[in-house]
């Protein structure tokens, strides 16, 4: 039987994933209005992936025989000053999410909940990729300081991103 402390921690994490989606939607809207349709597409797809991350956690709680807890989703920041600022905030946010995931892994160890520990490892690995991707994008954006035209190439590249369901087949 899954413990209440674990149900609470996983439910909180699902909420944090939905908040991530909300934040990335707000960033996508900013990029769209600023004329960067490709970057808006990239952020919109990122938001969809965050919804998949959150829903997968809810599915796990149900699979373990418990009921997920629901709570308000925080309103995200909606005004940004530049695409660079957006991706600085993406990177900082993903670092924060990593710290949340790590706490769940620690709790699962303490509670000797091997199923949750095994489940949350997917997210531990995913966060390595999330931080690396945000860091790489930020590095590319920093290059645009001296070559502003590069931002348009980046925008075109990001416009090609398509959504892949990370849990297809589960």
Q: How far is the CB of 16 from ligand OFO (least distance, A)?
A: 7
18 close to 50: Cβ distance less than 8 angstroms? yes
Q: How far is the CB of 97 from ligand OFO (least distance, A)?
A: 4
113 forms part of the interface with ligand OFO (CB under 6 A): no
3-state secondary structure at position 134: helix
Other CB atoms within a 10 A radius of the CB of residue 102 amount to 14
Nearer to ligand OFO, 50 or 155 (CB): 50
User: Is 28 near ligand OFO (CB under 6 A)?
Assistant: no
Closest CA to 122 of 60, 36, 29: 60
User: Torsions phi, psi of 71, nearest 5?
Assistant: -150, 165
Residue 87's SS3 state is helix
Selected binder of ligand OFO within 11, 14, 15, 17 (CB under 6 A) = 17
CA nearest neighbour of 50 among 105, 97, 3: 97
Least spacing, CB of residue 17 vs ligand OFO, in Å: 5
Q: Which of residues 90-109 bind ligand OFO (CB under 6 A)?
A: 94, 97
- Per the CB < 8 A criterion, the answer to whether 55 and 128 are in contact is no
Quick check: 155 binds ligand OFO (CB under 6 A)? no
Going residue by residue from 43 to 82, which x/- string records binding to ligand OFO, judged by CB under 6 A? Answer: -------x--x-----------------------------
Tokens of 135: 């860091």
Give the binding site for ligand OFO (CB under 6 A): 17, 20, 50, 53, 94, 97, 126, 130
């Amino acid at each position: 039987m899954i413990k209440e402390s674990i149900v609470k921690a996983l439910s909180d994490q699902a909420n944090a994933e939905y908040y991530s989606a909300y934040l990335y939607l707000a960033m996508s809207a900013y990029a769209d209005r600023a004329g960067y349709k490709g970057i808006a597409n990239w952020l919109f797809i990122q938001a969809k992936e965050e919804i998949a991350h959150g829903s997968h956690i809810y599915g796990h709680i149900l699979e373990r025989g418990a009921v997920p807890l629901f709570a308000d989703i925080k309103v995200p920041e909606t005004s940004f000053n530049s695409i660079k600022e957006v991706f600085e905030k993406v990177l900082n946010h993903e670092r924060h999410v990593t710290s949340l995931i790590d706490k769940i892994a620690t709790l699962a160890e303490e509670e000797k909940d091997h199923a949750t520990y095994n489940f949350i490892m997917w997210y531990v690995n995913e966060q390595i990729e999330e931080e690396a991707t945000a860091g790489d994008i930020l590095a590319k954006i920093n290059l645009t300081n001296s070559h502003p035209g590069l931002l348009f190439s980046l925008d075109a590249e990001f416009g090609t991103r398509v959504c892949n369901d990370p849990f297809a087949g589960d």
